[in-house]
């Protein structure tokens, strides 16, 4: 059975592209397809990447909810609707690939009750630099002599930001010659690889049970 992936994005979609490539010519070929790409930003280039290869897309922006209902109630309604949208797509797995929006219990609860797993890609080692600007914070810590390595991981999504159980982890050394830009390039290269591998591992494990 071919797994159906719903991919959540917010930006350029380079991680999405690695998944698409793997379903067409890589280790995910014949075992998974990207059935839908959903963005919280209408100008996210990842939507164009998906459209170019015939993958359906949709946009679910937060701002209209805040304008109509206010910040707190608007966020709650947004998340409730997001869960309903995802569930309606009937995914085998939801992949956060550069999704810049914290998934609240209003999203995670309904999906968990339907046994729909959600994974996220994060550019840091477990527990090291949770949240935003992880690469910049790791580089700064290295400049201060506090660390000599960082990494990237794919983990299950839970309410605690970047606190879910890791699925795949890879360490990345921080060299004295590195700049923020070169470190970003190294991490992004690793991210593209481990995201695809993690999806493959999950699908393989699921199909064996």
**Catalytically annotated residue among 36, 60, 122, 155:** 122
- Residue 188 annotated among the catalytic residues of the structure: no
- The CB-based long-range contact list for 204-208 (8 Å cut-off, 24+ gap) reads 204/31, 206/3, 206/92, 207/1, 207/31
Query: Phi, psi (5° rounding) for residue 88?
Result: -65, -25
Longest dimension (CA), the chain: 50
What phi and psi values does residue 57 have, to the nearest 5 degrees? -135, 160
Sign of the C-alpha dihedral computed for residues 98, 14, 138 and 148 taken in this order: positive
- Residue with the two structure tokens 């890589």: 26
d(CA 104, CA 76): 9
Q: What number of residues does the chain have?
A: 209
Which sequence positions are flagged as catalytic?
122
């Amino acid at each position: 059975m071919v797994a159906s992936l719903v991919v959540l994005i917010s930006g350029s979609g380079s991680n999405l592209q690695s998944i698409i490539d793997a379903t067409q010519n890589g280790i995910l070929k014949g075992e998974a397809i990207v059935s839908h790409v959903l963005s919280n930003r209408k100008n996210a280039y990842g939507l164009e990447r998906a459209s170019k290869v015939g993958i359906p897309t949709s946009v679910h922006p937060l701002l209209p909810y805040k304008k109509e209902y206010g910040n707190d109630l608007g966020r709650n309604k947004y998340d409730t609707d997001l869960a309903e949208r995802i569930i309606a797509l009937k995914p085998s797995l939801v992949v956060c690939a550069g999704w810049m929006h914290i998934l609240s219990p209003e999203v995670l609860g309904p999906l968990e009750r339907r046994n729909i797993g959600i994974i996220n890609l994060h550019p840091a080692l477990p527990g090291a630099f949770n949240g935003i600007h992880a690469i910049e914070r790791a580089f700064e810590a290295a400049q201060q002599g506090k660390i000599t390595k960082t990494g990237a991981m794919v983990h299950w999504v839970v309410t605690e930001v970047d606190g879910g159980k890791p699925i795949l982890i890879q360490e990345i050394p921080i060299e004295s010659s590195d700049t923020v830009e070169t470190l970003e390039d190294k991490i992004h290269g690793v991210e593209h690889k481990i995201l695809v591998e993690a999806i493959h591992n999950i699908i393989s494990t699921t199909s064996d049970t």
